Structure 1
């Protein structure tokens, strides 16, 4: 078995200090469990099992299998955070497939917290390519100014970076940052759904954006622009649930043989598959689209609504920068399609819940904020009638979790508070 060492990774330039430890982990000397420097380090019971990282149902005798290089937390979207065990070979396969897809090895600029899978992968790809990473100073949070400052001192024959959609939107609102982004050979965008309008805006500005889909259990992104990376397979079952296979799969969850058995299956040909909680489909052009999570689907009046489809339609409207759609209880419909939106910078307004059952004609706060009725009218003909929002919340910013995913539970709580 392999020993497991907690590894504190600072955000920003200080992360360079952990590169030797990551190299040792890839070389098989030990496995690392990254966490945010300054945060609470995981408790380690016997140099191999972090007690605080597993639930009461975990096997207390669990250990890290030989070959494991990285143990990283999942996002906990289902309410059950887990620790995915990633082998050195899986991480190497991920880095190689990524560079092959993007046009060759390059230098990476780290612009997000490095203890999540997307952030630590930036460092691991540099180790794989033998290049030096660059760092955005995140000590005061992510800003356009800090990104521009880092970009001007970041060099390489090929330059890459990775962002979440909220970061991309923020940079596109700044002229200098947009120019800096356009100088990268590729900008990976993942961690959450990217509205088509945002991607169109980036591409119109000359930014080489590449959407990614994946998770901790697949070493991060394994499907780029709807096309699986080399040696990655994707399929859907009868419910539309996405299953993934390939060289980048985790070996399982630390201390949770039960969850490992439920999520990872081996078919009759000996290929391991990971059962995701996402639903998706293959379009006529041979590209995969993720429609959302199974547990996010809204059942309103007996009909199913995929929040992502409503979010994309909202984000394409003039004046709407971001949108998150959640289910809220409704006495008549069972669940109501409820939309939280962030206005474009010139049109920001203070947050205000609008509930048509209480005040059907009330304008949202601020002269530029749309009313629920206005949004519904704009979306008619774009969305079916049952998918039109029935509640509206205008926010200055969306609540986020992890590396930048919208916190749907927090959004639903805001609706409950404003109802």
Structure 2
């Protein structure tokens, strides 16, 4: 259903959640009761058991909302603080949904690590999970499941590369990912044109690119992550992976540049541009090395755990 411009309420039986807006203006996503239930049911089917779900994320956004829905259709919901200090598995089966930043910080606290290790499943979403971070967590006995999805799909619908039951993955030109199935959204509130651009043939046309490795979806980055700098294609996903292997508290973006066409900018909490370029030589081609460094106390993040790219770009204005 496409919603008319200016319409201020969602249809009956629907809820509205805001996207994180990490790359720009947040959008209002309309999710039907049927889509929410389908998302919860497919998660339970994949897990193979009912569980108590622990809420550590804001239910204003889809990851937190889906914890509530899964809990209400499962064995209930328990509330914990975002820092995980009050997180505690109860009797029976227990699951929790967190973002990568929460996992990274949790691994610095042995008491939180021990509590996470008692959970039957720890879903980690919001952004790509670094392999080294996952290895550290699993080495501590934490049962990690990396999820991929978005507000428009009722949250993570691909777990460890495998679509949940009923979810269809389609790959278009340049590996652009589309996601179909019963948990896709109804439309953007009051934005029928944008809905028509995004909801195509019953599937959500994402801005991510990927490929299949057997039955598993492998994410390759964003479709707008490939920029041309000095006449050379630069994959920002590759640059970001190399940088975050050295320091996870970083982000990499590109901006227009009159000389280079696009300029790779590194946001980090310390170091100098020369030091960073020296550390990255041998890991990246010369054209991929950052040409600007912005130092800050911490990389700003949205509620979904993703770096707030709009705020980072505003620092360059």
What TM-score, normalized by structure 1, do the two folds share?
A: 0.70
Q: 1:172 aligns to what?
A: 107
Return the alpha-carbon distance in structure 1 between the equivalents of residues 46 and 295 of structure 2.
39
Return the alpha-carbon distance in structure 2 between the equivalents of residues 391 and 78 of structure 1: 20
After TM superposition, the structure 1 = structure 2 runs for residues 38-53 of structure 1, keeping only pairs within 5 Å, are none
Q: 1:77 to 1:278 in 2, by over 3 A?
A: farther
The correspondence of residues 141-180 of structure 1 with structure 2, limited to 5 A, is 142-143=82-83, 147-151=84-88, 154-180=89-115
Q: What does residue 269 of structure 1 align with?
A: none
DSSP-derived class of the 1:230 partner:
coil
- 1:135 equivalent in structure 2: 79
Q: How far did 1:77 drift?
A: 4.3
How far is the alpha carbon of 1:78 from its aligned partner?
5.0
Closer, same or farther: CA 395–197 of 1 in aligned 2, 3 Å: farther
Q: Corresponding residue for 1:47?
A: none
Unaligned runs of 5+ in 2: none
Checking the alignment, whether the CA contact within 8 Å between 2:227 and 2:235 is kept in structure 1 is yes
Cα contact 1:241–1:277 (8 A) shared by 2: yes
The DSSP-based 3-state class of the residue aligned with 1:207 is coil
**What does 1:81-96 align with in structure 2 at a 5 Å threshold?**
81-96=26-41
Could you say what secondary structure the match of 2:169 adopts?
strand
* Partner in structure 1 of residue 21 of structure 2: 76
**1:242, distance to aligned residue in structure 2 (A):** 1.1
Instruction: Indicate the residue corresponding to 1:241 in structure 2.
Output: 176
Q: 1:380 aligns with which of 268, 276, 281?
A: 281
Check if 1:191 corresponds to 2:114.
Answer: no
Distance in structure 2 (CA, Å) of the matches to 1:172 and 1:158: 22
How big is the shift at 1:62? 7.0
Structure 1's unaligned 5+ residue stretches are 2-53, 267-271, 343-350, 352-363, 365-370
Q: Work out whether residues 298 and 337 of structure 1, in 8 Å CA contact, stay in contact via their aligned partners in 2.
A: no
**Matches of 1:64 and 1:408 in 2, distance apart?**
28
Q: In 2, distance between residues paired with 1:334 and 1:192?
A: 27
Residue 293 in structure 1 maps to residue 210 in structure 2 = no
Q: State the shift of 1:390 in Å.
A: 2.5
1:18-417 alignment runs, 5 A limit: 59-60=5-6, 64-66=10-12, 68-77=13-22, 79-129=24-74, 131-137=75-81, 142-143=82-83, 147-151=84-88, 154-266=89-201, 272-283=202-213, 285-317=214-246, 320-342=247-269, 364=271, 371-414=272-315, 416=316
* Partner Cα separation in structure 2 for residue 182 and residue 225 of structure 1: 18
What do residues 241-267 of structure 1 show as CA deviations (whole Å, max 9, x unaligned)? 21111111112122222222221122x
Query: Does structure 2 retain, via aligned residues, the 8 Å contact 1:195–1:311?
Result: no
Q: For residues 303 and 291 of structure 1, what CA distance do their matches in structure 2 show?
A: 18
Contact 1:291-1:306 at 8 Å conserved across structures: no
* Corresponding residue SS for 2:287: helix
Structure 1 residue 103: Cα displacement: 3.3
User: Aligned partners of 2:47 and 2:162: how far apart in 1?
Assistant: 12
Quick one: structure 1 residues 61 and 134, their matched pair in 2 at CA, closer, same or farther if it must change by over 3 Å? closer
8 Å CA contact 1:148, 1:180 repeated in 2: no
Alignment length (residue pairs): 316
Q: Residues 192 and 132 (structure 1 numbering): CA distance in 2 closer, same or farther, change over 3 Å?
A: same
220-229 or 252-261, which deviates more: 252-261
- Aligned equivalents of 1:254 and 1:409: distance in 2? 22
Q: Is the 8 A contact 1:243 1:274 kept in 2?
A: yes
- The offset of 1:296, in angstroms, is 4.1
- Compared with structure 1, are the counterparts of its residues 61 and 200 closer, same or farther at alpha carbon in structure 2 (3 Å cutoff)? closer
Aligned residue in 2 for 1:346 = none
* Deviation readout 1:105-147 (Å, 9 max, x if unpaired): 2011111112111011111111111x2211123xxxx43xxx2
For residues 242 and 62 of structure 2, what CA distance do their matches in structure 1 show?
Answer: 29
